[in-house]
Amino acid sequence: MRLLILGTGGMANQHAAKFKAIEGVSVVGGVDIVPERLAAFCTEHGIANHFTTLEEALAWGEFDAVANVTPDRIHHPTTLQAIAAGKHVFCEKPLATDAIKAMEMTEAIEQSGKVGMVNFTYRNSPALQKGRQMVLAGEIGQVRHVEASHLQSWLVGRHWGDWKSESKWLWRLSKKHGSNGALGDIGIHIVDFASYGSGLDVAHVFARLKTFDKAPGHKIGEYDLDANDSFTMNVDFTNGAIGTIQATRTAAGQMDQLRLRVYGETGSIEMIYDTGKSTLRACLGEDVHTATWRDVPFDPVETNYQRFVQAVRAGKTQEPSFRRAANIQKVLDKALASDLSHADEALG
């Protein structure tokens, strides 16, 4: 499989390294509107062909698939261009900045017959995959309550750099630069994590979003700091269970932690991804009477990168698909609407 990487910012390095490590995959081209960044990226990863526009790369055309690692608002137009050119697409999340655009992309890829998948990174957690299997196997009975959180701290700590001076962070705080804030950036991860891990779909959302005062005049240079920094959701699931889903970038002490607890009629399961480490615990059987939690072993799982390559070779999309990402985007759109209406919003 010959791969083109579109967008050569921070996350693109992960794509290049992961795809190059897969036997039979060649990263044959890179695209970026910033020539200096493009040149440095291609030199670092040994990529021979450089393009400053997608149009140039498509005119060349010597590749099978595109890894779209552009900023959020660029996903929609560039992915549609790649699909129209007959390319498979592995897109960073969110698929688009709203569900209407995401569904347009979904319908386009499905009609094309090409593979379209979205990089919900935390699907790579073996604890999540094993925990989901246990829930679906009925090991905790019918799910009644779900508790999920995604906690980061880069607004209060400098472990990932100084957000006040680096554009790679500042754009995530600015609506006019295409950001839907914490909701669009990490909210999409935790909603997928909670829904996938519990085996349930969200039916109703009641949400609150908060943007904190982070600079004089809520502005740094060209960046208006108006995107949300934290959110909470109360949700109903389609089976009648209820739950809470929350995320923030201000959780000092937490670099990147996703935690999901799924409580059922006969037991509970906790799935944690914490800055690269996965943990799975359960309270089952007789342990429910003593409130005893035990670690659950799990095996390694294939990554989204590996699943995408397999899907392209087989000519059949695997999960997480464009349609899955579009459905999760519907939840985020309803959360935004709920924050404005101060009312419960139903998923259509």
DSSP 3-state of 206: strand
Partners of 264 in the beta sheet? Answer: 143
Using a pLDDT cut of 90, give the percent of the chain over it. Answer: 95
Query: Region 120-141: what's the mean pLDDT?
Result: 97
Confidence of residue 215 (pLDDT cuts 50, 70, 90): very high
Q: Kindly tell me if the per-residue pLDDT of 186 is higher than 80.
A: yes
Q: Kindly tell me if the per-residue pLDDT of 348 is higher than 90.
A: no
Q: How far is CA 126 from CA 62, 146, 303, in A?
A: 35, 19, 10
* Whole-number pLDDT of residue 204: 97
Distance CA 330, CA 292 (A): 37
One-letter amino acid for residue 271 of the chain: M
* Whole-number pLDDT of residue 144: 98
Partners of 108 in the beta sheet? Answer: none
Sign of the CA dihedral 121, 314, 67, 10?
A: positive
Confidence of residue 167 (pLDDT cuts 50, 70, 90): confident
Q: Kindly tell me if the per-residue pLDDT of 333 is higher than 90.
A: yes
Q: Kindly tell me if the per-residue pLDDT of 346 is higher than 90.
A: yes
Query: For residue range 14-59, what is the model confidence (pLDDT) as tens digits?
Result: 999 999 999 999 999 999 999 999 999 999 999 999 999 999 999 9
Q: Kindly tell me if the per-residue pLDDT of 268 is higher than 80.
A: yes
* Whole-number pLDDT of residue 10: 82
Residue 155 phi, psi (nearest 5): -80, -15
Query: Tokens in use for 262?
Result: 């799924």
Q: Kindly tell me if the per-residue pLDDT of 223 is higher than 90.
A: yes
Query: Region 92-97: what's the mean pLDDT?
Result: 94
- Asked if residues 283 and 292 have their Cβ atoms less than 8 Å apart, the reply is yes
* Whole-number pLDDT of residue 9: 85
Sign of the CA dihedral 18, 21, 27, 32?
A: positive
Query: Region 167-194: what's the mean pLDDT?
Result: 92
Using a pLDDT cut of 70, give the percent of the chain over it. Answer: 100
Query: For residue range 50-89, what is the model confidence (pLDDT) as tens digits?
Result: 999 999 999 999 999 999 999 888 999 999 999 999 999 9
Buried b (16+ CB within 10 A) or exposed e, 25-43: bebbbbbbeeeeebeebbe
Q: What is the mean pLDDT of the chain?
A: 96
One-letter amino acid for residue 225 of the chain: L
